[in-house]
Amino acid sequence: MSGAQRPGYKPSASASAKATERQSIFFDIKPDTKNMVRMLPPSDPTGSAFFLKSDHYKLKDAEGNNTAMPCLNIHGEGDCPLCKVTEVLFASGDKEDEALAKNVKASQRHYIQAYVMNRLEEGPKLIGLSPTTADQISDIMVQQEEIGEPMPNDPDKGIWISINRVGSTQFNTRYTVQASSKMDSLDSLRKEWVDEFVTDMVKATRLKVQTPEAMIAAFKKAHGGKVDVDKLLA
């Protein structure tokens, strides 16, 4: 019937992408985006805005699956065997050893807990930042303190900050962090914030400390044919 109204609505790529996006407590800063976030108060009794997670990558578990393991120098009692392995590999002067060491050495992420603008209904997100990006947030906090203004993570007068990413590859990606003039109390922003607040960052970031023996076994499973790890640790 020619005069009948056709069913359906205007297609939206953004709405479709959001509908199929996997819900996660983690928020990834996408390439070439500007992200306004409102930080929550520290969950650490020291008052630090960051939760540090340091992992060794390029390992394999007993089933041969790729895995990462927390560095024992940060999350254990020290004497991390994989830190020793990478130190010896770097010192060997061999290019292949150096490449392997770069892959396995511990990589650090500094997590903040924050609400993301236009995604408040999803609750607080954990945003993993490189040390240099975290330094930029620290600089803003120091500046705010010096001029007597509230911290970005103050529950009552905290300001929004913008975390911007330009580029998409390892070599051309750049992050910048900027303070904004927008201020919101968490109570007015989202009344559920107290119940949504993440108190256990170890559990939330899935940090599972392994034994030194398990870490050596995971290295051998992934790279045992390239180097003699027992010799490296001798």
From the DSSP assignment, how many helices (H) and strands (E) are in the chain? 10, 7
What is the residue extent of each domain of the chain?
Answer: 23-29+37-154+191-233
3-state SS class at 19: helix
Record the pTM.
0.86
In this structure, are residues 185 and 155 in contact, taking their beta carbons and an 8 Å threshold? yes
Secondary structure of residue 69 in the 3-state scheme = strand
CATH 3.90.198.10 at 23-29+37-154+191-233, yes or no = yes
Q: What is the pLDDT of residues 175-201, one digit of tens each?
A: 999 999 999 999 999 999 999 999 999
Q: Specify the DSSP class assigned to residue 21.
A: S
Answer whether 207's CB lies under 8 Å from 75's CB. yes
10-residue block means of pLDDT along the chain (234 residues)? Answer: 73 70 85 97 95 97 95 93 96 94 96 97 97 97 95 96 92 94 96 97 96 96 90 87
Length of the chain: 234
Residue in the block written with tokens 């992420």? 109
The pLDDT tens digits for 20-47 are: 555 799 999 999 999 999 999 999 999 9
Neighbours of 201 (CB within 10 A): 18
